[in-house]
Amino acid sequence: MLVPFVALALLAAAPSPLEVVKSGYTDVQETARAPGVSIERLVTAVDKFVDFEELARRALGETWEKITPAQRKDFTSAMRGMLRAFYAQKTLALANAEVEYGQQTLDGDDARVSTFVTIEELRVPIDYRLYKLARKAGGWRIYDVITNGISLLEDYRGQFREILARDGFAGLLSTLKMRQAQVERAAGQLGSGASGTHGPGAPAHGKKLRTGKKP
């Protein structure tokens, strides 16, 4: 009889989706405000905020089931590396942002948390979609960010669909790795003292892969 009570206690103690988002914002803002903040520290904060690996899997859609485990690993690594570096830069803009928390909506193992972020008098609605981890009772991770009604997940899903139709999976992976290298290079320059919090420019060779529209 002890096991059920222990399980219930763990479930009750687990953070809610709203608490996960609040904790993520707190970590990001405290890290961004710290003297001599580095890209590595920002990346660590971002990792707590968004599950980029889950985002990558969902964005690839049905193609995920058609590729090999090795291809999945390469794709996830490139996607995760690109987004971690990009959003590490973007978190600097959140250092002094005002955050208003709305409500959380639960739908089984899926949840949505609404927020409003004000940066330099610009008030932006940002919602977060979270999923419950099967391997951790009650644990929630963010897998999608929706700004002004635009979903990061859906944006990438559309981009990937276009590139897959034109260049196949090999072409998508090549474009993604190229973009990863560009973003990580820009993040390294920022960490070395380059100014600004905007993302890097478009990829070379005329291939476009937007990194995201989120602050």
Average pLDDT, consecutive stretches of 10 residues, N- to C-terminus, the chain (215 residues) = 41 78 90 83 81 92 95 92 78 84 94 94 94 74 94 95 96 94 76 35 38 46
Res 191: pLDDT:
52
The answer to whether residue 215 sits within a structural domain is no
105, 98, 145: which is closest to 18 by C-alpha?
A: 105
Res 114: pLDDT:
97
The answer to whether residue 173 sits within a structural domain is yes
Res 197: pLDDT:
31
The answer to whether residue 213 sits within a structural domain is no
**What CATH code is carried by the domain that includes residue 118?**
3.10.450.710
Total domain count, the chain: 1
Tell me the residue range of the domain where 83 lies: 15-191
The answer to whether residue 8 sits within a structural domain is no
The answer to whether residue 10 sits within a structural domain is no
Burial of 144 (0-12, 13-18, 19+ CB in 10 A): buried
The answer to whether residue 203 sits within a structural domain is no
**84: its two tokens:** 């971690």
The answer to whether residue 124 sits within a structural domain is yes
SS3 (DSSP) at 131: strand
Res 38: pLDDT:
79
The answer to whether residue 74 sits within a structural domain is yes
